Amino acid sequence: MSSKLDLSKEFIGRRALVTGGSRGIGAAIAQRLLDAGAKVVVAARSRSDVTPAAATFISGDVRTSEGVKAIAAEALAALGGLDILVNNAGGSRGFLGGSPTIPDEEWQDTLALNLLAAVRLTNAVLPALRASKAAAVVNISSTAATIPYGPFAHYCAAKAALDTYSRTLAVELASSGVRVNVVTPGPVATPSADELRKTFTDGMGIPADAFVQQVPLGRLGTTDDVVEVVALLASDRGRWLTGGNYRVDGGMTAR
């Protein structure tokens, strides 16, 4: 591989679908792919003021099988195929009373958003990925998958399941040239994540910098920290990488 690779052009000719791409990490991923020449579709329930203007936006709900089918069909029609799938949509509500207070419907909704959305969408676009000569799936997980935390037990379980699913899929699809990897961010500074952290530090009466104190490198991550790892895995630079889980967490899970 040439050491003179121009990263600003590495996705020219590539077609990408990013879920949860209207804000936060998802929007940053979509913009990174666009900046390097990709044709990008962003799927989310609604736009925001940071949704990449150059991306094709699809409004949809990945929590239902019908919503996933509609997103897949519209995205493939807009792109004419698919090379890169980033399953970024995720999240959940927290319950300060711990896991026994999480209602059944919250478990179902969280599993649908953080696990089944990725499973269903990957299956829906799999024929297009198989037809690509440079197919890559990147699933966005969370350090919650390995750090038990009662108020988010449903989210922790869903992300742990996503990790296992991704490893299994990587082995299954390797023979067809479709690579599957996971990126696991630690606490990242985005408006919605910052608000959620404040809600919990206030509600539990703990210091405002409690989350930062868990990070050996001593700061919250940025969307750029995460985006560059996704770009590596989606590009030809990662052509021999599959089945991996890349933790972008400032050393948080190294302890």
CATH of 11-187+223-248, one of 3.40.50.880, 3.40.1160.10, 3.50.30.30, 3.40.50.720: 3.40.50.720
Question: What is the residue extent of each domain of the chain?
Answer: 11-187+223-248
Catalytic residue among 149, 155, 165, 246: 155
- 155 catalytic? Reply is yes
Lowest-pLDDT choice from 58-62, 145-149, 229-233, 238-242: 145-149
- pLDDT at site 5: 67
Asked if pLDDT for residue 237 goes beyond 70, the answer is: yes
At 171-199, the pLDDT tens digits run 999 999 999 999 999 999 998 888 888 88
Asked if pLDDT for residue 112 goes beyond 90, the answer is: yes
Q: Give me the chain's average pLDDT, please.
A: 94
The model's pTM is: 0.94
DSSP letters of 141-199?
--GGGTS--GGGHHHHHHHHHHHHHHHHHHHHHGGGT-EEEEEEE-SB--HHHHHHHHH
